[in-house]
Amino acid sequence: EDPMIPAEPLTPRTVTVTGTGRVTAAPDIVELRLGVAVTRPTASAAATDAAAAMTAVLGALRAAGAAGEDLRTEGLTLAPVHDYRGEGAPTLRGYELRNAVVARLRDLARLPEAIDGAIAAGATTLDGVRFAVEDRAAAEMEARSAAVGDALAKAVALAVPAGRTVGEVLAIREALPASGPVPVVRATRMMAAEATPTPVEAGEAEIAVTVELVASLA
């Protein structure tokens, strides 16, 4: 070997794996999205009647345990409603006002009361119910530890058949979680509350963390 030619650096032997940790926790909060839709001949009449209906809905939600800070308006629209039947240009039939509110409950046992009370008060739509864990920090830490353990086990499973051993962990990267709430209950339109309370089961919330791990091979 020519001493004047520098030797090429050795490519480090590494293994790259992903690991996932999953932790289940009992949900302790629930969010529901309810709406009021009112169509009237004039915009002012639609606004007045929709406001009265939403006031009653908010009262029912508060009666079911939703505090003021746990109620928020999430949509308010006013649009003309046209009749396209017949020939010629469409005719104006009136105005529709839609008002949506998201309520958060911390007592899950009162969810059926909140749903049925709001519908009886005038809610015309129930767009979704989402259960969640309010304080996710402890569960996420547990899931991270489980994800790293899963990745290390996979690294060993790959290295041993190849006659290698897993050495130093060179890098760990946590994958970004998928975003967006996933409703577990969905309905298009509710006309009236039934005499029997609406059955809703919270189940369990799953918190998952995925990591990518790079380790050296000896």
Are the CB atoms for 29 and 206 separated by under 8 Å? Answer: no
How many helices (H) and strands (E) would you count in the chain? 3, 7
pTM: 0.64
Q: Give the up-direction half-sphere exposure of residue 148: CA atoms within 13 A in the CB hemisphere.
A: 12
Per-residue pLDDT of the chain (218 residues; tens, 9 = 90+): 555 655 555 557 899 999 999 988 888 899 999 999 999 999 999 999 999 999 999 999 999 999 888 999 998 999 999 988 877 788 899 999 999 999 999 999 999 999 999 999 999 999 888 888 888 888 899 999 999 999 999 999 999 999 999 999 999 999 875 443 333 333 333 333 445 566 666 667 788 999 999 999 98
Cα four-point dihedral sign 138, 202, 64, 72: positive
Q: How is residue 188 annotated by DSSP?
A: S
CA nearest neighbour of 113 among 63, 72, 148: 63
Say which amino acid occupies 27.
P
